[in-house]
Amino acid sequence: MISGDLFPASTGHAVQDEPLCEGAMVLRGFALAEQLRLLQAIETIVAQAPFRHLITPGGRRMSVGMTNAGPLGWVSDRRGYRYAALDPDSGKPWPAMPEAFLQLAGAAAAQAGFAGFVPDACLINRYQTGNQLTLHQDRDERDFDQPIVSVSLGVPAVFLFGGLQRSDRAQRVALAHGDVVVWGGPARLRYHGVLPLRPAQHQALGHSRINLTFRRAG
Ligand code: SIN
Ligand code: FE2
């Protein structure tokens, strides 16, 4: 369990920078001050583009529920991984990127040393008890000069932050509600993943964890 004094959520302003390696940093509590706006925006997005379980190119159903906001959305099916302007389930554009998302992602990137980050894609991942994301690289984007900003909400999780080879030993990083991880530059293609979500309860999100992953895809 994440202890209250390590992450003083009660102040709503706790920000601590915790480097993971060159180009990667955990910003503890960075999203807390905006949590209500973020949660409301997620509700609006999910009402238009519900979470769904994508199929991997290998035919496996992903346990993590996914949806997107912004001009581009990350999708997977038997044909491969890619970014698409239209939600394949509805045939309509993905819900717009909320202003609160853009502001938070830009501010977190700047805090980690990547000024001027303007994401065009926000992947929203929903983990329920037992769901995990195996080690992978984010490499479907056009330009690896732009960082990745990853926001954790709800139930805490253990984030795996590996190296540039899948076999490199991964650091285990406990991520709580409001924590933000940024990786870019020499860390942009590091392998990462999430261990199976342990049973826990969050006052706004129940048994779930929601992760917002911001990227410049196009
Ligand atoms: C991802 O790699 O897409 C998500 C990481 C996370 O959920 O923290
Ligand atoms: Fe990823």
Domain segments of the chain: what residues?
A: 16-215
In order along its 218 residues, the chain shows pLDDT tens digits of: 444 444 444 444 445 799 999 999 999 999 999 999 999 999 999 999 999 999 999 999 999 999 999 999 999 999 999 999 999 999 999 999 999 999 999 999 999 999 999 999 999 999 999 999 999 999 999 999 999 999 999 999 999 999 999 999 999 999 999 999 999 999 999 999 999 999 999 999 999 999 999 999 99
Ligand nearest to the CA of 194: 1
- Which residue out of 192, 195, 208, 214 has the highest number of ligand 1 atoms within 8 Å of its CB and is therefore the one to mutate? 192
Write out the DSSP string of 64-129.
SEEEEESSBEEEEETTEEEEESB-TTTSSBPPPPPHHHHHHHHHHHHHTT-TT---SEEEEEEE-T
Q: What is the whole-number distance in angstroms between the Cα of residue 160 and the centre of ligand 1?
A: 9
Q: What is the whole-number distance in angstroms between the Cα of residue 47 and the centre of ligand 2?
A: 24
106-140 exposure pattern, b = at least 16 Cβ within 10 A, e = fewer: bbbbebbebeebebbbbbbbbbbeebebebeebeb
Q: Using the atom order of ligand 1, give the atom closest to the CA of residue 64.
A: 7
Q: Closest Cα partner for 131 from 62, 184, 34? A: 62
Q: Which CATH architecture has domain 16-215?
A: Sandwich (2.60)
Residues 125 and 213 sit within 8 Å (Cβ to Cβ): yes
Ligand nearest to the CA of 139: 2
Residues with CB under 6 A from ligand 1: 123, 125, 133, 150, 159, 192, 194, 211, 213
Global pTM?
Answer: 0.93
- Please list, in sequence order, all residues whose beta carbon lies within 8 angstroms of the beta carbon of residue 45, skipping any fewer than 6 positions away: 67, 69, 95, 98, 124
